[in-house]
Structure 1
Amino acid sequence: MKILLVDDDAFALQLLSRQLANLGFVNIVPCLRAQEALVWLESNSAHFGLIFCDLQMPEMDGVEFVRQLVHIGYRGGLALVSGEDERVLQTAERLARAHRLDVLGALHKPVAPQALQEMLARHARRVAGKPDATPRTYTPQQLRQAIDDGQLINHYQPKVAFASGELIGVETLVRWQHPDDGLVEPDQFIGIAEDHGMIDDLTRMVLGAALRQGGAWHAGGLPLQVAVNISMDNLGALDFPDVVERAAAAAGMPLTHLVLEVTESCLMKDPLSPLDILTRLRLKRIGLSIDDFGTGHSSLAQLRDIPFTELKIDRSFVHGASRNAYLQVILEASLGMARQLGMKTVAEGVEESEDWHLLRACGCDVAQGFLVARPMAAAELPGWLREWETRRGELTADAA
């Protein structure tokens, strides 16, 4: 892989070049000026797999350089390096991600060899798992046909207790089993359903299948909590609580083991209309989870006004928290508030053991993420559970 280094500090360039060489990267182009780096990129952008860019440079700073990377259509990886305040570094990282650049992360000067090695290892794992093909697009008519033909299927992502590692539930995540394209991820069709009046039909189909599966698990001696995401359309139908109750009874699924997840952004569209429905759902002993907590604009008002039983912390506050003091402060504050309100806490996006141990030490209740398991078909759950039992002890070794 060809690497471009951009930094006005000659010593820093030399040091980083040597560190990369020690890790086996020898095809390195160092540049003292951002303009010089852009000349290289404009003629050879496809040949650079990775760029390390300093933020604080004369003539053109790192933020301007990022803007130029977008302009020339750079598609490789980007790592930001700086001696600036950590929050400035984080803001620059978020900006680069907002530009849809492939950001590996941010490193502080002087770059620690271990941090560099870990960043490159994460990047290598991520690249290895990326599909080569560009996802295709679908029409509203194709999605309507898929809903009518029963091509949408549920996958389930396990949720485990931090304290013991015990499997306590799953989140339901819909997939499209396309006859030609195979398994299609929801980000390729949920937006279509929302924009073309199909999200209510889709959600009710997902909910019905999840209730039947939950009932089957209960009948088989596996009393899991089943979480299902609901839409704003569902929260506008006054009969929704009764529909859920009837479907759960028919499926043999206890309402006390059903959790409905509602995003902050969904509630913000109409803060009054859902109040009737959500209150009635709680009267039926259905759990309510505020999903993606912290990413909206009125979280505290919603916690005050709506009887949520669970607070689900967005992955943007979870992933990498073990390396980020600011995220740790936010996590501890969120978890402490939830405890005071008597709410269960769920951390989504748990992908690294360091984050697991941090969240466990902070008293978070439930973990969900790739460290535990990826979403899977219901038939795969028993096999995963056997495998999980062999490794959960490593994550809960101090439980006794």
Structure 2
Amino acid sequence: MPLAPDALAPLTFLVVDDEAFMRTLISRVLKGLGAATVIPCEDGRAALDIVPTGADVILCDLNMPGMDGVEFLRHLTQTPFMGAVVLISGEDQRVLSTAENLAKAHDLNVLGALSKPITPAGLSDLLAKLGDDGLAGRRRQGPVDRITEDDLRRGIENDDLVVFFQPKVRVRDRKVVGVESLVRWQHQTRGLVPPMAFIPVAEDLGLIDALTDSVYAKAVRQGGRWLTAGHDIKVAVNISVDSLTRFDLPEMIVATAAAEGLDPSHIVLEVTESRLMHDIRSSLEILTRLRLKGVGLSIDDFGTGHSSLHQLKRIPFTELKIDRAFVFGAARDPAARAILDSSVGLARSLGMSTVAEGAETQEDWDLVESLGVDMVQGYVVAKPMPADQFDAWLTAWEA
């Protein structure tokens, strides 16, 4: 999306670079894009004195004498800064990517990173995200307030959990072949609560099975409706490793699907190992029995956490979901592209289908298509949405 006219005029930009020439160049580029207020600063320490007076966007060099850009980012998190960050460097791309990941780990609103010399087009593309995501002037988001046990129990008992669906689109013909079912909580006072606020609570308190049963039942009910309407869509549901000690899980999965008219082959269980499998014998038995019954198994967020090559070796997965860290922007990140390419080759050699998760741009789509990825799931196709919105979107997509 191009930068809107006059979008930058109300914002204050802070340019932190030890080279006078670069400060001047970046300031001129910003003003050429419509910025009215640009404050040049020669080092990180001086910049920290300016930040509290008000800055919407900070453009920061990494390699500076004294306080370098990486140290500056750490100190920036201790200030009341509420804006966005653009990283700039003449270092190699891997150093730049690592610094970008570090800034995100600090919960800073990172628009992206640019190699020197910067270009008006490159900077304009990053600053366009200010309008897309509302990053300017937004306070950094800390951890979401976690839900209490009593609150969560009431939410499950009152059937307050809702399911959003994000499409999986086959790359070769752009056909919608599946969805991932994503839980949200329509809280009576907090509004729509994201899963990060309550899934860990459910796992810690032993409520994850009840939560999973509710989400799964709603997801397959919708899958049955789609099948009746003539849409052959596989339904994927996330399963916590904490649920892989339930010996009745395979029967529950198949019976619940059958009650909605779905064959087990229409079901995919996505396993994300955010936590280690403590009882590997039970987990292996349950996952193997699910495969024997025809249920698909997906290793989610491959390349992160405990989702490893070892798990691919010992568990009969049918689908490999490549984490967004290796998809979004991989066309401009050689390391991410290499991992993406090798993951696709690995999956192909194991007879598994691949899903590129987190693709957001046409550039991402073009790359995964050229590498032979089977399916794409990400904002380049559609965001997660409730079932009624999904139906309207599907009609428009197929048209």
* TM-score, length of structure 2 as denominator length: 0.92
User: Does 2:265 align with 1:251?
Assistant: no
CA–CA separation in structure 2 for the residues paired with 1:128 and 1:36 = 24
Say if 1:264 and 1:299, in contact at 8 Å, map to a contact too.
no
Aligned residue for 1:236, secondary structure, equals: coil
Deviates more, 1:12-21 or 1:152-161: 152-161
Do 1:156 and 1:375's aligned partners in 2 also have CA atoms closer than 8 Å?
A: yes
2:119 to 75, 91, 112: 112
Q: C-alpha distance in 2, partners of 1:189/1:155? A: 16
Aligned to 2:210: 201
Render the CA deviation track for 1:356-393: whole Å, top value 9, x for unaligned: 11111111011111121111222223311122135xxx
What is the CA RMSD across the aligned residues, in angstroms?
Answer: 2.0
Name the SS of the counterpart of 2:363 in structure 1. Answer: helix
1:162-181 to structure 2, matched below 5 A, reads 162-181=171-190
Report the equivalent of 1:396.
none
Structure-2 separation of matches of 1:75 and 1:367: 33
> For residue 46 of structure 2, what is the aligned residue in structure 1?
36
Residue in structure 1 matching 2:28, options 15, 18, 29: 18
Which is helix-richer, 1 or 2? Answer: 1
In 2, Cα distance between equivalents of 1:130 and 1:268: 42
Q: 1:277 to 1:155 in 2, by over 3 A?
A: same
CA contact under 8 A between 1:147 and 1:202: conserved in structure 2? yes
The 2-side partners of 1:291 and 1:266 are apart by 13
Tell me how far 1:73 sits from its aligned partner: 3.5
1:50 aligns with 2:57: yes
- The 2-side partners of 1:17 and 1:34 are apart by 17
Higher mean displacement: 318-327 or 340-349: 318-327
| Aligned equivalents of 2:136, 2:122: Cα separation in 1 | 21
| Structure-2 change in CA distance of 1:365 and 1:22 (3 Å) | same
Q: Higher mean Cα deviation, 171-180 or 249-258?
A: 171-180
| Cα distance, 1:136 vs structure 2 | 5.8
Aligned CA distance change for structure 1 residues 137 and 128 (closer, same or farther; 3 Å)? same
Aligned to 1:234: 243
Match of 2:273 among 245, 264, 275: 264
Q: Secondary structure at the match of 1:296?
A: coil
Q: In structure 2, give the amino acid aligned to 1:14.
A: T
Please tell me whether the aligned partners of residues 300 and 307 of structure 2 are also in contact (alpha carbons under 8 angstroms). no
The answer as to whether partners of 2:57 and 2:136 remain within 8 angstroms in 1 is no
* Corresponding residue of 1:84: 91
Equivalent residue, structure 1, for 2:359? 350
Q: Which amino acid in 1 is paired with 2:161?
A: L
Q: Which amino acid aligns with 1:77?
A: A
The aligned amino acid for 2:253 is: V
C-alpha separation in 1, matches of 2:334 and 2:135 = 29
Q: Which residue number in structure 1 is paired with residue 70 of structure 2?
A: 63
Q: 1:270 to 1:104 in 2, by over 3 A?
A: farther
For these two proteins, the number of residue pairs brought into alignment is 387
- Which string of whole-angstrom CA distances, capped at 9 and with x for unpartnered residues, describes residues 223-255 of structure 1? 210000001221011121112122122222110
Q: Give the secondary-structure state (helix, strand or coil) at the position aligned to 1:364.
A: coil
> Which residue does the alignment assign to 2:3?
none
Q: Give TM-score scaled by structure 1 length.
A: 0.92
* Aligned equivalent of 2:317: 308
Q: Look up the SS of the partner of 1:230 in the other structure.
A: strand
- Residues 371-382 of structure 1 aligned to structure 2 (within 5 Å): 371-382=380-391
Q: Deviations over 1:4-63 (max 9, x none)?
A: 11111000110000000000012010011222212212x41xx10011111111111111
C-alpha contact 1:231 1:262 (8 A) present in aligned 2 = yes
For 1:293 and 1:269, how far apart are their aligned partners in 2?
Answer: 19
Q: Distance in 2 between matches of 1:261 and 1:77?
A: 33
Q: Are 2:355 and 2:374, in contact at CA under 8 Å, matched by a contact in 1?
A: yes
Does the CA contact (< 8 Å) of 2:241 and 2:272 recur in 1?
no
Q: What CA deviation, in whole Å up to 9, does each residue of 1:267-311 have, x standing for no partner?
A: 555544311110000000100000000002461111111100000
CA distance in 2, matches of 1:324, 1:281: 37
Do the aligned residues in 2 keep the contact of 1:267 with 1:274 (CA within 8 Å)?
A: no
Question: CA–CA distance in 2 between the matches of 1:24 and 1:326?
Answer: 34
The change in CA–CA distance for 1:263 and 1:242 in structure 2 (over 3 A counts) is same
The residue that corresponds to 1:397 in the other structure is none
Give the letter aligned to residue 15 of structure 1: L
Please point out which of 145, 163, 168 is paired with 1:159. 168
Residue 88 of structure 1 aligns to a residue whose secondary structure is: helix
Instruction: Name the CA distance, whole Å, in 2 between partners of 1:236 and 1:21.
Output: 60
Q: Is the 8 A contact 1:81 1:106 kept in 2?
A: yes
More deviation in 286-295 or 180-189? 180-189
Are positions 1:98 and 2:100 aligned together? Answer: no
Give the letter aligned to residue 58 of structure 2.
I
